Structure 1
Amino acid sequence: MSIFEGAGVAIVTPFQADGSVNYDKLDELIDFHCNGGTDAIIICGTTGESSTLTEEEHMDCIKFTVERTKGRIPVIAGTGSNCTRTAIDLSKEAVEDGVDGLLLVTPYYNKTTQNGLIAHYKAVAAEAKAPIILYSVASRTGVNIEPATVATLVKEVDNIVGVKEASGNISQISKIMQLTDGNIDLYSGNDDQIVPILSVGGKGVISVLSNVAPQEAHDIVAKFQAGDVKGSRDLQLKALPLVEQLFCEVNPIPVKKALNLMGMEVGGLRMPLSELSAEHTESLKKAMVDFGIKLT
């Protein structure tokens, strides 16, 4: 059984004016998603600015999200690190806090080999007894998980069950499904490729779009799974201009601006991320209005 099917939100981490985590606002966002069609919450991922959270903040956000979600939808914790021991410790603590699964990005900066990736993921999976989703996003980490590596891990490790594929390479993604005989939970890591990934057997998306349009992101997947491929495709194509603007600067700069434009008041960004430029803000506003999102 999959951890989830549908659209899981890669949720932002809201901040106070002084830069501290705004837990009251995080509570509001959790309710917004639990009541708004979102199928799972992915906390402390890239969109949640995990790289600039302290370890204490990181674990506090995970525990808080589990407690406030109250089992309404699954919670998946981003606990990856370029240090295997750190990834193990974060993952074990998240499991103790009650998460439904773990999202483990490839080690970044030190750029390990494929054999190193296998050893890394096996080490984490041996100590963190929860379903694990691999996260392949070479554009940010410098390391691609090759299809054969994914297949080896899924076949040899019981609790490695899925992959979030953000390579953008549909041929690579199709190869993963072929090498695993489809016995893997495949999630799109790119909001502009939800339908193509569903077409090769994907279970859904781990989505930035869901932050601002949770019901629509859910519906893209739900319509496809219900056999309404045209309806799913039409929604995917309608969302493309907004998705493009949500990535007009590095994620999560635009999506935080979008939420603030909606009156969600999620605060700013932690350095070295900077505020969205004025030019891109106007383009984002237009895309949001065209998609039907109300601005304050």
Structure 2
Amino acid sequence: MFSGSIPALVTPFRGRAFDEAAYRDLVEWQIAEGSSALVPCGTTGESATLSFEEHFAVVRVCVDQAKGRVPVIAGCGSNDTAVAIRNTEEAKAAGADAGLLVPPYYNRPNQEGIYRHFEAIADACDLPLVLYNVPARTVTDIQPETVARIVADIPSVVGIKDATGDLARVSRHRESCGTDFCQLSGNDDLGLAFMAMGGRGCISVSANVAPRLCADFYAAALAGDYARALELQDKLFPLHAALFTDASPGPVKYALNRVRPDFPADLRLPMTPPSEASRKVVDAALAHAGLI
């Protein structure tokens, strides 16, 4: 259902207000540069700082601007199952093609609780769901056995964004969930290995800044041209690292403003601009990739 380079879109602000015009321009640029789907209101989109009304206004703008040219996978996660259900229903009403859902964070349910969380969401809404496993942020890990159980029992779960950094899980998920189960990397820097092991693409931070290079990289990997993919990996790798030299999405917004000077770099607290050291690393990586 999903493949290739899929940017987890940043959300532009001017002051504290959502800049709709800048967002529409970003969506248009991403599609023109070859991004194969879009993720509004993920972690990189500062979803934690958006009100419910703002969150789904952003999703609606993304859907409206995409106009069906690429799928839209809306961030819907919450550590409250009832809120996650409401978010998923609202994403469907906004016209999203799928919902992206982390397991409950902070309250840290066991594996049964994680399973029942996704079961309840799927029972309440038939929107296709993509699991998002990112233990470094949620402190909750969807274990491979639980992923297999979810996929076996819940047909609307169509894929996973795997940001565990555990590459062996790609093979474990292929073994337990089938080779058609859509596995998307959540780590740009591991994209080459992830694809070689059977991945289908990446929900990417770097694609915000380098959409064409990222699209070309995943197109090469999907075509089995790993020599070309390795060339692009070498070109992109410093950028993948640089965008996490300070708290994300500070470096990403800084980088995007360097590539597209009209794009605002404003952040919402508690996020703050990247340090001078981070900015220098980002500048060097952008130059290495030929983006500035």
Normalising by the residue count of structure 2, what TM-score does the alignment of the two structures yield?
0.97
- Which stretches in structure 2 are left out of the alignment for 5+ residues? none
| Residue of structure 2 in register with 1:260 after alignment | 257
Equivalent-residue separation in structure 2 for 1:242 and 1:97 (angstroms): 33
CA contact (8 A) 2:247 2:274 kept: no
| Residue of structure 1 in register with 2:19 after alignment | 22
| Residue of structure 2 in register with 1:224 after alignment | 221
- Count of paired positions: 291
| Residue of structure 2 in register with 1:160 after alignment | 157
Are 2:180 and 1:146 equivalent residues in the alignment? no
Identity of aligned pairs, percent?
38
| Residue of structure 2 in register with 1:282 after alignment | 280
Equivalent-residue separation in structure 2 for 1:171 and 1:226 (angstroms): 22
Picking from 6, 9, 12, the partner of 1:11 is 9
- Classify 1:56/1:187 alpha carbon distance in 2 versus 1 (closer, same or farther; 3 Å): same
Equivalent-residue separation in structure 2 for 1:165 and 1:174 (angstroms): 12
Are 2:240 and 1:211 equivalent residues in the alignment? no
Task: Give the SS at the match of 2:17.
Answer: coil
> How far 1:172 moved relative to its partner?
2.7
| Residue of structure 1 in register with 2:234 after alignment | 237
Segments ≥4 residues shifted beyond 4 Å: none
Equivalent-residue separation in structure 1 for 2:98 and 2:48 (angstroms): 20
Are 2:104 and 1:116 equivalent residues in the alignment? no
Equivalent-residue separation in structure 2 for 1:270 and 1:211 (angstroms): 18
> How far 1:150 moved relative to its partner?
0.6
> How far 1:6 moved relative to its partner?
0.4
Are 2:126 and 1:129 equivalent residues in the alignment? yes
| Residue of structure 1 in register with 2:185 after alignment | 188
Equivalent-residue separation in structure 1 for 2:155 and 2:234 (angstroms): 36
Equivalent-residue separation in structure 1 for 2:166 and 2:32 (angstroms): 33
> How far 1:161 moved relative to its partner?
1.0
Q: After the TM superposition, which of the residue ranges 6-15 and 92-101 deviates more from structure 2? A: 92-101
Q: After the TM superposition, which of the residue ranges 90-99 and 256-265 deviates more from structure 2? A: 256-265
> How far 1:227 moved relative to its partner?
2.2
Picking from 40, 43, 53, the partner of 1:43 is 40
Report the RMSD for the aligned CA atoms in angstroms. 1.0
| Residue of structure 2 in register with 1:84 after alignment | 81
- Which stretches in structure 1 are left out of the alignment for 5+ residues? none
